[in-house]
Amino acid sequence: MENIELTAYVLKSARVSDTKWRLSLFSAEKGLLNVVMHCPKNSRLTLGLTPFIALWFDILVYPYGYAVRAVEPIDTEQFIKSFSSSNKNTALFASWYVNELILALLPKEEGDLAVYKIYKDTIENLKFSLDKVTIEACLCRFEWGLIKSLGYINLPRETSPYLFYQFIPARGLIKSVNGIKGNVLLALEKGDLLAGDMLPSAKRLTKSLLDFVLDGRVLKAKWGVNALLI
């Protein structure tokens, strides 16, 4: 019987019975992967229910789907270090929101190393974010990176920090008499959002882009994040 081994994060888990779970995993090789895990009480497989840490999975491949055979933590220290900041609740909600975005926008079983790296870096940064502004900047960088990686938008060639740009569906970002200033786009591209007043403008842009990309879909965790960041 064929099997695959990969490092993945658990984005979502749903209990089917006392000993059976359905998991949505995210890995560089397979992208989003839905698997079944039979998990008796006190079994080491319960590690496979732990979100926001990298786990090693041994997965059996069946004609009708995938089943977890074994799971191990990549770094046991992550259990202790996870979300140790003073803004733990906000960081946790932010991480669930990141998971929801991945589940909402990525196709199934299509590996994407760039998106995986963006996700991994975001989750690790959120664990140690010391204040709400840092969390907001971290989420904004993730949203921009995800939207770009999925091909919804690209920076105009030779973006000027002094000109204004507007997002037009099917055309992307074009020069305009008003809208988002070029220096904000360049700050987003560099990930440098904590200087000056870049963050509020960057957040407005990524929000409008996500409203378009999600096409009206509501992400539950986003409500929690917004409430905690007020």
Residues 73 and 149 in one domain: no
45: domain range? 3-77
pTM as predicted: 0.89
Each residue's pLDDT tens digit, 46-101: 777 888 888 999 999 999 999 999 998 877 565 545 655 556 778 888 999 999 99
Residue type, 137: A
Residues 187 and 145 in one domain: yes
Beta strand ranges found along the chain (DSSP E): 3-15, 20-27, 31-38, 55-62, 65-73, 164-168, 172-176, 180-181
Each residue's pLDDT tens digit, 1-34: 799 999 999 999 998 888 899 999 999 999 999 9
Residues 130 and 110 in one domain: yes
3-class secondary structure, 166: strand
Beta strand ranges found along 40-179 (DSSP E): 55-62, 65-73, 164-168, 172-176
Cα 119 from Cα 98, distance rounded (Å): 8
Burial readout 97-110 (b: 16 or more C-beta within 10 A, e: otherwise) = bbbbbbeebbeeee
Domain limit, last residue, from 21, 42, 77 = 77
| Nearest Cα to Cα of residue 210 among 102, 77, 86 | 102
Q: What is the mean pLDDT of the chain?
A: 87
Number of domains, the chain: 2
Residues 129 and 178 in one domain: yes
- CATH number assigned to the domain comprising residue 40: 2.40.50.140
Mean pLDDT of 126-140: 87
